[in-house]
């Protein structure tokens, strides 16, 4: 209940990161609302077709837990530090056991004293969503405060890192590692896509990384394998989220789906949050690309 009141208050004061020409798409809005109808939990979404500016949204300025979506702002701030000369892309880093964040991370399997370049740490953070890598980069950037400074300076009013960040304990208790909104996370992806995040060269490299995602079971599984998409996923027990920018034949579109307070907290493939993300991804592809139908194979041996 406490989280709900905070979310309601912040919905009233948060504004989008960048003013965009946008037109409400009534047909898409209706389909999207039907797709989320009956979901047992809090849900928000934001969709924008970049060439036309058509949008659909629900609670798109409300705060949701980022889970691993927070790794995108950490990535941007890492590149910002490299642009300023505080970090180097090919800098050799020494892994220590004290950096380990318990889980299934690849980096956490390294031996103490192993050497790895910063570029590979960033790759692991994004491609395999490595938590140890993300916390290490957050530290190298100057704790979460540096990430939040970049976000604030670039107009992101609601997206913040909370974990291991001075002054953010109460927000951490509500949202965990980080917090964001469906619209702001979508806007951040568009900012990277358009070469406006840090610099054109930095944006180009970040976008390449975001198109090489290992975790492709949900939204990405509903897109044709021949279509490029930049994405990031985030999940904790009671929340599922994904943001995707699809380089579709008829023009790019971006969407973010976020849930919280889910009744279904299972980690099975048929979790309601996972199913919702797949359903929306399939809906959007069919809506924006009617001339390029795609039906995923029913054989799930590789899922």
Cα 250 from Cα 261, distance rounded (Å): 36
At residue 18, the pLDDT reads 44
pTM, two decimals, is: 0.92
Average pLDDT over residues 35-63: 98
Distance of CA 113 to the CA centre of its chain: 31
Cα 45 from Cα 60, distance rounded (Å): 6
For 139-183, write each residue's pLDDT tens digit: 999 989 999 999 999 999 999 999 999 999 999 999 999 999 999
- Give the strand pairing for 23-24 and 54-58: parallel
Rounded (5°) CA angle 53-287-67: 75
**Please, what is the angle between helix 118-127 and helix 131-141, to 10°?**
130
Residue 130, both tokens = 């490595």
Cα 101 from Cα 104, distance rounded (Å): 9
Task: Please return the burial class of 58, using the count of CB atoms within 10 Å of its CB with bins 0-12, 13-18 and 19+.
Answer: middle
- φ, ψ of residue 270 to 5 degrees: the values are -90, 20
For 215-269, write each residue's pLDDT tens digit: 999 999 999 999 999 999 999 999 999 999 999 999 999 999 999 999 999 999 9
At residue 14, the pLDDT reads 41
Q: What domains are defined for the chain? A: 2-288 (3.40.710.10)
CA distances from 114 to 16, 78, 101, 137 (A): 42, 21, 16, 16
- φ, ψ of residue 92 to 5 degrees: the values are -85, 125
Residue 289, both tokens = 């690309």
Q: Please, which residues have CB within 8 angstroms of residue 177's CB and are 6 or more apart in sequence?
A: 65, 66, 67, 68, 70, 161, 162, 163
For the chain, the maximum distance between any two Cα atoms, rounded to a whole number of angstroms, is: 57
Predicted confidence (pLDDT) at residue 19 exceeds the cutoff of 70: no
Residue 128, both tokens = 């395999």
What does pLDDT average to over the chain? 93
- Give the strand pairing for 229-236 and 23-24: unpaired
At residue 104, the pLDDT reads 83
Residue 34, both tokens = 């039907």
Smallest Cα–Cα separation from 236: which of 271, 195, 265, 202?
265
At residue 303, the pLDDT reads 77
- φ, ψ of residue 239 to 5 degrees: the values are -145, 140
Cα 147 from Cα 143, distance rounded (Å): 7
Predicted confidence (pLDDT) at residue 7 exceeds the cutoff of 70: no
Predicted confidence (pLDDT) at residue 124 exceeds the cutoff of 90: yes
């Amino acid at each position: 209940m406490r989280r709900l009141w905070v979310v309601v208050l912040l919905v009233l004061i948060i504004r989008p990161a960048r003013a965009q020409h946008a037109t409400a798409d009534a047909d898409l809005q209706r389909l999207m609302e039907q797709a989320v109808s009956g979901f047992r939990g809090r849900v928000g979404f934001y969709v924008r077709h970049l060439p036309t500016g058509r949008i659909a949204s629900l609670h798109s300025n409300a705060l949701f837990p980022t889970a691993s979506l927070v790794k995108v702002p950490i990535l941007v701030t890492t590149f910002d530090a490299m642009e300023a000369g505080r970090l180097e892309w090919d800098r050799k880093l020494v892994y220590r056991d004290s950096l380990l964040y318990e889980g299934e991370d690849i980096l956490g399997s390294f031996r103490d004293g192993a050497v790895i370049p910063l570029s590979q740490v960033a790759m692991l953070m994004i491609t395999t969503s490595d938590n140890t890598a993300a916390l290490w980069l957050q530290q190298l950037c100057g704790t979460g405060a540096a990430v939040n400074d970049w976000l604030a300076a670039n107009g992101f009013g609601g997206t913040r890192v909370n974990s291991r960040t001075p002054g953010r304990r109460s927000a951490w208790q509500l949202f965990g590692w980080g917090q964001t909104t469906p619209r702001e996370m979508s806007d951040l992806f568009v900012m990277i896509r358009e070469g406006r995040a840090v610099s054109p060269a930095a944006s180009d490299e970040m976008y390449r990384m975001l198109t090489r995602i290992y975790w492709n079971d949900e939204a990405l599984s509903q897109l044709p394998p021949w279509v490029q998409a930049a994405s990031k996923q985030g999940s904790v027990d009671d929340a599922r989220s994904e943001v995707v920018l699809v380089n579709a034949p008829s023009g790019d579109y971006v969407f973010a789906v976020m849930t919280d307070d889910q009744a279904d907290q299972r980690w099975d493939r048929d979790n309601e949050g996972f199913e919702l993300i797949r359903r929306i991804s399939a809906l959007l592809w069919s809506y924006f690309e009617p001339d390029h139908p795609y039906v995923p194979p029913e054989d799930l041996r590789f899922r």
